[in-house]
Amino acid sequence: MVEQTLGDKLARDILGRIRGGQILPGAKLNAKSLADDFRVSRTPVLEALKTLAARGIATHAPNRGYIVSSTALNGNVGSELDEPVPVTDLYYRLAEDWVGQEIPQDVTEQYLLQRYKARKSEVVGTLVRAVNEGWAERKPGYGWTFLPVVSTPEAFEQVYRFRSAIEPAALLEPTFEFDTQVLDEQERIQQRYLDGAIDTELPDRLILIGMQFHEEIIRLSGNTFFHQALVRVNRLRHLLELRSIFDRARVYDQFSGHLELIRLLRKGDPIEASFYMRQHLAEATSKKTSIQRAHVQNKIRR
């Protein structure tokens, strides 16, 4: 399926969450919650839900809205939506130019068509993907604007030091709630990928799963400022994560660490869980910043 609208992209992303176990069969697909989650308006979400219903992934029930179909996990249902969509050369070129400040913040489709000598459908599809990932927005009326992102290894390291300050602290908040439903859901998701899905999933999807785990855990703190801060920095670092050298073995270590953190949280010892979270992030800081520096050095040599 050629993704030409934001609704198409959202339909695929929602199905990805269903396939990954984040949304279960029988669950209600709340348009407002999804719109808030993806940081878009309800209109493209409703378009996506109609697409999912048309392909048997969801059903529309009177007075209940859209419900995930009991057959949604059948690989033959909605297979055209579930096919991996590779990151295109245009996406990488646009990302490199924005991170490297080679293009202006506000652009038009015509400007991008001329700069990259690409088809309009390819340009629009790339912009839609950038919107969904949080580093671009459609301007009211006309044109597009690119949003600030982490663009250097030094800034990337600062992001991880910031995370090392707020995430362990969030686990010690007096309002922290040990929500077993959230822990069960995250344990199921991490285990599914550790059981082999890491080897076949797209890198950007794995990056998103890792981010969502930490956002769900910090949400349990009951402190909205901690949660909002993490969502913000994740949005800023996402593009640099995607542009770096991707190591699936590291993802296995990362998701295994998530399961260990869940185990500690189930014990009901926030101090031990907080200490482990700090170690988990310290290891990630060391490994990921070295990868980012290597990526920059490789670019310089070219």
> Tens digits of per-residue pLDDT, 236-251?
787 777 766 678 888 9
CA angle 263, 229, 22 (to 5 degrees): 45
pLDDT computed for residue 56 by the predictor: 86
pLDDT computed for residue 236 by the predictor: 78
Q: What is the spatial order of strands in the sheet that 136-138 belongs to?
A: 106-107, 144-146, 136-138
The answer on pLDDT for 301 being more than 80 is no
Domains and CATH numbers, the chain: 6-82 (1.10.10.10), 89-146 (1.10.10.10), 153-301 (1.20.120.530)
Check residue 54 and report its DSSP letter.
Answer: H
For residue 65, the cross-strand partners are 61
Check residue 73 and report its DSSP letter.
Answer: T
**Comparing C-alpha atoms, which of 210, 96, 224 is closest to residue 160?**
210
Mean pLDDT, the chain, integer: 83
Q: Which tens digits make up the pLDDT trace of 220-239?
A: 999 999 998 998 888 778 77
How far is the C-alpha of 84 from the C-alpha of 61, rounded, in Å?
Answer: 29
How far is the C-alpha of 57 from the C-alpha of 238, rounded, in Å?
Answer: 28
The answer on pLDDT for 257 being more than 90 is yes
Task: Compute CA distances 189 → 39, 163, 196, 210, 280, whole Å.
Answer: 22, 22, 12, 10, 18
For residue 137, the cross-strand partners are 145
Between residues 68 and 87, which one has the greater pLDDT?
68
How large is the average pLDDT for residues 263-274?
A: 93
Q: What is the spatial order of strands in the sheet that 65-68 belongs to?
A: 28-29, 65-68, 58-61
Beta-strand ranges (E) seen in 62-135 are 65-68, 106-107
**Comparing C-alpha atoms, which of 214, 195, 222, 188 is closest to residue 273?**
214
b/e sequence 159-189, b meaning 16+ C-beta within 10 Å: bbeebbebbbbbbebeebeeeeebbebbbeb
pLDDT computed for residue 101 by the predictor: 85
